[in-house]
């Protein structure tokens, strides 16, 4: 066969045909290989068919030009064109079929077989187009060999191209295609002979050798163009792919999560974030296998995932640091790998911390960082459950600061916060281990004394708390004495659940408040009733003020020597339909605690000034001003308004205040006092001897009058010590240039002693009882017409 080839062919042209064949087929495979298996076909099959068909066609006809044995006179045009069309169409179909069936070896091979048939058809139709002076006779067995060769090599070529379309496959495929075209051609050329050459007549519309050469030239130009364009496209495509890969890398690097690509249980790719997070080297080789296993999760599930729900894990890195992460996994189809997954790892330390912080906030008071009411209730429920099982007792203690509202009003909220924080600190310091202190808001605290079977233990703790709160709290201006009223209730005696226990402890605390501040009371059943009564009192007092049911009484104050009236003290009177006469000693406190005291105070001031202005004698009128009223209301404004409305000369108005007004020794208290003095008012110190009785209070402000509390006066006649105390107070008052008044004088004996001590004025039932406004006018009118000397005798 080789002899035949060498002897009957122009070898230069054969070489050209071979070269063109290899080039053309390679271009064809290149294009075929670029069309992805899953993509839509579009115009690709046509182009591939044209490329493959043109290659086979021009190879065939160049080889025919090289054939010297029976040089044909020319070619039949129709058959020549037909050979091209059939070859092109079959080749295009064959490649497209192979592409669509790429996932199947048999499918790929079938497509290739079709390509082989394209070459066979092209060759034999091309042969039939030859104008020959005889008939072509074929050797059947060699024809069969050529057909089998073409089909087999074609099938081999598309199979080699494969599904993945990698370069080695493409090269092999191109070579196989070339082998197919060339071997088919030359075997077929060996298979024919020409019989009975009759005449040299050529077909009428034949294609001359020259025209054929031109057509072949065109075909070659086409293939070369496709080759160049294909190469350019290839370069661009490669660049695009690289850019795309870069973009993905940037994306992966910019991701907030650490990303790991896992193929069959091994890390094959990772972003910097993941390596940093897990403290891995660039190859991720130092990730401990157990950790990797936990990150990958249960491989059985992997097959099912689109994307898994995030899983929270605690990661312990090679460097020993451990922290919480959230892991999300997604199945990732990776070429040549049975199970691929993408793992996203997010460090959730910050989130965890803020979750903890939020949980803490929900259960604690932000100012003191103590447990809040909700947390306290939770802890108490646990204690209840435990004590129920063990049959044990425990105590709940409620603490309310005594003067806190005052501190807030006078010093402002910032100072109030400081006081609360300091009290919280002191309370915590007073507790035993195991006890819990909580802040319920405002100035309310609660204690849970889990190991407190005996009331004595609660009493001891209350004493410790009182001691701890006794020291003044230093503020920017002055200082505060918080003091605390404490109520105690016991489980299970006073309540079965925490609400009941707190309610009972609250009741006891109110009782403690009512019994004098800075005390501690244990809950007793009777207290509930007392508390209710107190609530009712407050309600009715509010109504009484609204309906103007309150009145004032006046009690004369007389000169100690002449017993002529020199002043009258204004005393509030309230007669309630249901409650009867309620003492101001009782309702003033309720008014203070409920904020009603300001309205009450203004009423008394207005009424006193108005009444006094109409008295037949120009006596002084004294008005009591409670500490809270003094500090809260705008006292100076109220006083000015009352004086202006009544026309009473300021010198006739006297205000009685108690020491508690001066306790904090604050600048603005003294300023208000001075303001009152500047208005021309007089100021008396009331109830002297009951409070702190500190000389410094008397020195901080020049009082006009000192009123000795009636308790001293009452004890004076029976107790020598009390008598000498009263004598000392009188002489001290006089030395400080104050008028001294004795309250509650009920007997002539007391009056005589006080006169002997040098007391200036007397007030008490002996001299006159408090009387209604119209009665005092009559009383004073009587004294105006009766000389003082006579009154003293009467």
Q: Is 555 in the site for ligand C2E (CB under 6 A)?
A: yes
Q: Is 624 in the site for ligand C2E (CB under 6 A)?
A: yes
**In this structure, are residues 438 and 472 in contact, taking their beta carbons and an 8 Å threshold?**
no
Q: Is 749 in the site for ligand C2E (CB under 6 A)?
A: no
435 contact, one of Ca ion, ligand C2E, none, CB 5-8 Å limit per kind: none
Q: Is 659 in the site for Ca ion (CB under 5 A)?
A: no
By beta-carbon proximity to ligand C2E, the closer residue of 570 and 638 is 570
Q: Is 626 in the site for Ca ion (CB under 5 A)?
A: no
With tokens 């007004």, the residue in question is: 661
Residues 723-782 that bind Ca ion (CB under 5 A): 743
Q: Is 624 in the site for Ca ion (CB under 5 A)?
A: yes
Residue 316, SS3?
Answer: strand
Segment near ligand C2E (CB under 6 A); pick from 29-37, 371-379, 411-419, 625-633: 625-633
223 contact, one of ligand C2E, Ca ion, none, CB 5-8 Å limit per kind: none
Q: Is 746 in the site for ligand C2E (CB under 6 A)?
A: yes
Q: Is 744 in the site for ligand C2E (CB under 6 A)?
A: yes
Q: How far apart are CA 576 and CA 761, in angstroms?
A: 33
**In this structure, are residues 671 and 484 in contact, taking their beta carbons and an 8 Å threshold?**
no
Q: How far apart are CA 291 and CA 174, in angstroms?
A: 48
Residues 583-602 that bind ligand C2E (CB under 6 A): 583-585, 588
* Residues in the chain, overall count: 794
| Contacting residue, 648, 686, 703, 744, with Ca ion by CB under 5 A | 686
| Contacting residue, 33, 49, 53, 764, with ligand C2E by CB under 6 A | 764
| Contacting residue, 121, 149, 215, 604, with ligand C2E by CB under 6 A | 604
Give Cβ neighbours of residue 54 (< 8 Å, ≥ 6 apart): 24, 84, 88, 219, 222, 223
Q: How far apart are CA 370 and CA 773, in angstroms?
A: 54
Residue 783, SS3?
Answer: helix
**In this structure, are residues 710 and 743 in contact, taking their beta carbons and an 8 Å threshold?**
yes
Q: How many residues bind ligand C2E (CB under 6 A)?
A: 25
By beta-carbon proximity to ligand C2E, the closer residue of 570 and 660 is 570
Q: Is 365 in the site for ligand C2E (CB under 6 A)?
A: no
Q: Is 770 in the site for ligand C2E (CB under 6 A)?
A: yes
Least distance CB 502 / Ca ion (angstroms): 38
Segment near ligand C2E (CB under 6 A); pick from 420-428, 565-573, 697-705, 750-758: 565-573
The two structure tokens encoding residue 326: 């959230």
Q: Is 609 in the site for ligand C2E (CB under 6 A)?
A: no
Q: How far apart are CA 127 and CA 681, in angstroms?
A: 141
By beta-carbon proximity to ligand C2E, the closer residue of 422 and 602 is 602
Q: Is 687 in the site for ligand C2E (CB under 6 A)?
A: yes
Q: How far apart are CA 597 and CA 673, in angstroms?
A: 19
By beta-carbon proximity to ligand C2E, the closer residue of 315 and 604 is 604
Crossing angle between the packed helical segments 455-470 and 413-430, to the nearest 10 degrees: 140
654 contact, one of Ca ion, ligand C2E, none, CB 5-8 Å limit per kind: none
Query: How many other CB atoms are found less than 10 A from the CB of residue 255?
Result: 15
The enclosing H or E element of 755 equals helix 748-757
By beta-carbon proximity to ligand C2E, the closer residue of 501 and 600 is 600
End-to-end CA distance of the chain: 171
By beta-carbon proximity to ligand C2E, the closer residue of 295 and 572 is 572
Strands 74-76 and 484-491 turn out to be unpaired
| Contacting residue, 96, 494, 656, 760, with Ca ion by CB under 5 A | 656
Q: Is 571 in the site for ligand C2E (CB under 6 A)?
A: yes
In 203-318, alpha helices (H) = 209-254, 272-277, 289-296, 299-302
Least distance CB 701 / ligand C2E (angstroms): 19
Query: How many other CB atoms are found less than 10 A from the CB of residue 190?
Result: 19
Least distance CB 556 / ligand C2E (angstroms): 10
Q: How many residues bind Ca ion (CB under 5 A)?
A: 5
Closest Cα partner for 601 from 552, 652, 671, 672?
A: 552
> What is the largest distance, in Å, between two alpha-carbon atoms of the chain?
186
585 contact, one of ligand C2E, Ca ion, none, CB 5-8 Å limit per kind: ligand C2E
| Contacting residue, 611, 687, 688, 751, with Ca ion by CB under 5 A | 687
440 φ/ψ angles, rounded to the nearest 5 degrees: -95, 5
Least distance CB 555 / ligand C2E (angstroms): 6
Residues 703-722 that bind ligand C2E (CB under 6 A): 710
**In this structure, are residues 79 and 54 in contact, taking their beta carbons and an 8 Å threshold?**
no
Closest Cα partner for 392 from 487, 492, 488, 461?
A: 492
Q: How far apart are CA 480 and CA 419, in angstroms?
A: 8
By beta-carbon proximity to ligand C2E, the closer residue of 113 and 622 is 622
Q: Is 654 in the site for Ca ion (CB under 5 A)?
A: no
Q: What are the residues binding ligand C2E (CB under 6 A)?
A: 555, 570-572, 583-585, 588, 604, 624-626, 629, 656, 686-687, 710, 743-746, 763-765, 770
Q: What are the residues binding Ca ion (CB under 5 A)?
A: 624, 656, 686-687, 743
């Amino acid at each position: 066969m080789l002899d035949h080839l060498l002897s009957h062919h122009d070898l230069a042209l054969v070489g050209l045909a071979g070269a063109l064949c290899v080039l053309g087929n390679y271009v064809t495979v290149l294009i075929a290989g670029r069309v992805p298996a899953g993509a839509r076909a579009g115009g690709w099959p046509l182009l591939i068919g044209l490329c493959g068909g043109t290659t086979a066609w021009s190879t065939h006809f160049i080889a025919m030009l090289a054939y010297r044995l029976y040089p044909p006179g020319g070619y039949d045009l129709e058959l020549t064109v037909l050979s091209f069309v059939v070859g092109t169409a079959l080749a295009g179909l064959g490649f497209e079929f192979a592409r669509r069936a790429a996932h199947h070896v048999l499918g790929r091979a079938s497509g290739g077989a079709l390509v082989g048939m394209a070459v066979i058809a092209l060759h034999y139709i091309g042969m039939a187009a030859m104008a020959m002076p005889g008939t072509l006779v074929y050797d059947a067995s060699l024809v069969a060999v050529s057909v089998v060769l073409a089909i087999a090599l074609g099938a081999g070529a598309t199979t080699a191209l494969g599904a993945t379309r990698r370069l080695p496959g493409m090269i092999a495929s191109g070579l196989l295609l070339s082998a197919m075209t060339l071997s088919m051609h030359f075997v077929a050329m060996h298979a024919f002979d020409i019989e009975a050459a009759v005449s040299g007549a050529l077909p009428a519309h034949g294609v001359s050798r020259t025209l054929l050469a031109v057509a072949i030239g065109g075909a070659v130009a086409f293939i070369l163009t496709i080759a160049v364009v294909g190469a350019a496209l290839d370069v661009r495509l490669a660049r695009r792919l690289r850019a795309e890969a870069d973009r993905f890398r940037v994306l992966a690097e910019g991701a907030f999560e650490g990303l790991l690509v896992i193929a069959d249980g091994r890390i094959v790719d990772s972003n910097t974030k993941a390596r940093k997070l897990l403290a891995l080297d660039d190859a991720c080789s130092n990730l401990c296998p157990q950790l990797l296993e936990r990150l990958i999760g249960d491989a059985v599930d992997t097959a099912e995932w689109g994307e898994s729900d995030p899983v929270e894990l605690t990661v312990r890195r090679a460097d020993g640091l451990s922290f919480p992460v959230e892991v999300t996994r997604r199945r990732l189809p990776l070429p040549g790998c049975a199970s691929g997954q993408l793992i996203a790892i997010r460090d959730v330390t910050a989130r965890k911390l803020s979750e903890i912080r939020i949980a803490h906030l929900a259960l604690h008071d932000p100012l003191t960082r103590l447990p809040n009411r909700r947390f306290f209730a939770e802890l108490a429920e646990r204690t209840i459950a435990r004590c129920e099982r063990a049959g044990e007792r425990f105590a709940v203690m409620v603490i309310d600061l005594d003067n806190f509202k005052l501190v807030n009003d006078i010093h402002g909220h910032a100072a109030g916060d400081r006081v609360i924080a300091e009290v919280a600190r002191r309370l915590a310091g007073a507790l035993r281990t195991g006890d819990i202190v909580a802040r319920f808001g405002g100035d309310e605290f609660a204690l849970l004394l889990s190991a407190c079977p005996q009331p004595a233990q609660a009493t001891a703790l209350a004493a410790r708390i009182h001691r701890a709160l006794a020291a003044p709290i230093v503020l920017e201006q002055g200082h505060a004495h918080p003091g605390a009223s404490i109520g105690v209730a016991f489980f299970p005696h006073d309540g079965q659940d925490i609400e009941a226990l707190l309610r009972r402890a609250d009741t006891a605390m109110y009782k403690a408040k009512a019994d004098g501040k800075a005390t501690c009371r244990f809950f007793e059943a009777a207290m509930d009733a007392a508390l209710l009564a107190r609530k009712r009192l407050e309600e009715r007092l509010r109504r009484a003020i609204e309906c103007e049911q309150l009145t004032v009484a006046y009690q004369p104050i007389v000169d100690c020597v002449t017993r002529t009236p020199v002043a009258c003290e204004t005393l509030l009177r309230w007669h309630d339909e249901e409650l009867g006469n309620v003492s101001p000693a009782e309702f003033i406190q309720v008014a203070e605690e409920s904020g009603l005291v300001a309205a009450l105070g203004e009423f008394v001031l207005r009424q006193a000034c108005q009444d006094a202005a109409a008295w037949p004698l120009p006596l002084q009128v004294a008005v009591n001003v409670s500490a809270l009223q003094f500090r809260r209301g705008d006292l100076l404004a109220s006083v000015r308004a009352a004086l202006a409305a009544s026309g009473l000369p300021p010198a006739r108005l006297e205000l009685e205040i108690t020491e508690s007004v001066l306790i904090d020794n604050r600048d603005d208290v003294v300023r208000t006092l001075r303001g009152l003095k500047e208005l021309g008012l007089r100021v008396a110190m009331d109830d002297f001897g009951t409070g702190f009785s500190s000389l410094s209070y008397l020195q901080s402000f020049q009082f006009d009058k000192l009123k000795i509390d009636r308790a001293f006066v009452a004890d004076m006649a029976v107790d020598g010590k009390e008598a000498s105390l009263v004598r000392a107070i009188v002489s001290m008052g006089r030395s400080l240039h104050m008028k001294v008044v004795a309250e509650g004088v009920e007997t002539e004996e007391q009056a005589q002693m006080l006169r002997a001590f040098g007391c200036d004025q007397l007030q008490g039932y002996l001299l006159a009882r408090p009387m209604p406004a119209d009665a005092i006018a009559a009383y004073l009118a009587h004294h105006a017409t009766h000389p003082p000397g006579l009154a003293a005798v009467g």
